[in-house]
Homo-oligomer: A and B are copies of this chain.
């Protein structure tokens, strides 16, 4: 813990993340955030013009903290396309739990707030880059199923790796993180890579849901 003073915007962001990442996870109001920060509700508005802006800023702050790119390094270093796909799926799949609290809040306001939807879309677009790169690598290897459209394969991988799917499997169905990773890796390989060996034990996790 550093002893240097922290500026108020950062304190607000920290408090927001803490609330969003709490296990019981109600969606916090501006009052909640202000109280958690130890300042007045109106003071929050001095630094963030709206609730949506604050949530978006919180995602960016969190990305900085988690340093997403380091996790993706093995993916870029992969030799074959299949290897790259595999590494990317694993890296992203393990990143999701770190952002889930914030993602949940953003996705919740997305239905009513166009600006939030745009922000979330932008964020997911970054992830789509990784999908696109993995698919392209497969295409160069010729391991993509014949006649496959690159854009379309990217869309599909992007959808498979959505936070909603992670949420469904781990939160609703109760899968362990390891089980999720193993299964999604298997499904991505089975669907997108001609690597038929990977088809074996796609769905044979040793760790069944609760």
Contacts from A to B (Cβ < 8 Å): 27, 104, 107-108, 111-112, 121, 144-149, 151-153, 155-156, 158-159, 162, 164-165, 168-169, 172-173, 175, 179, 183, 186-187, 190-192, 196, 199-205, 208-209
- CB contacts (< 8 Å) of A165 on chain B: these are 159, 162, 164-165
* 5 nearest CB pairs, A to B: A147-B204, A108-B111, A148-B203, A155-B173, A164-B164
The answer on a CB contact under 8 Å between B191 and A148 is no
Q: How far is the CB of A145 from chain B (nearest CB, A)?
A: 6
Q: Across the interface, do A146 and B27 meet the contact criterion of CB distance under 8 Å?
A: no
Residue numbers in B under 8 Å from A201 (CB-CB): 145-148
> What B residues does A192 contact at CB under 8 A?
203
A128 → B minimal CB distance (Å) = 10
**A104 and B108 within 8 A (CB):** no
Expressed in whole angstroms, the Cα–Cα distance for A164 and B110 within the complex equals: 13
Q: Which residues of B contact A151 (CB under 8 A)?
A: 208-209
In the bound complex, how far is the Cα of B192 from the Cα of A183, in angstroms?
11
Copy tally for this chain in the complex stands at 2
Cβ–Cβ contact A200 & B159, under 8 A: no
Not counting A147-B204, A148-B202, a sample of 16 additional A-B residue pairs whose C-beta atoms are within 8 angstroms of each other reads: A27-B111, A27-B112, A108-B111, A111-B111, A147-B201, A148-B204, A149-B204, A149-B208, A152-B205, A152-B208, A153-B203, A159-B168, A159-B169, A159-B173, A162-B164, A192-B203
Chain B residue at minimal CB-CB distance from A163: B164
Nearest B residue to A117, CB-CB: B172
Tell me the minimal C-beta distance from A168 to chain B in angstroms: 5
Candidate in A153, A199, A202 with the most chain B CB atoms within 10 angstroms? A202
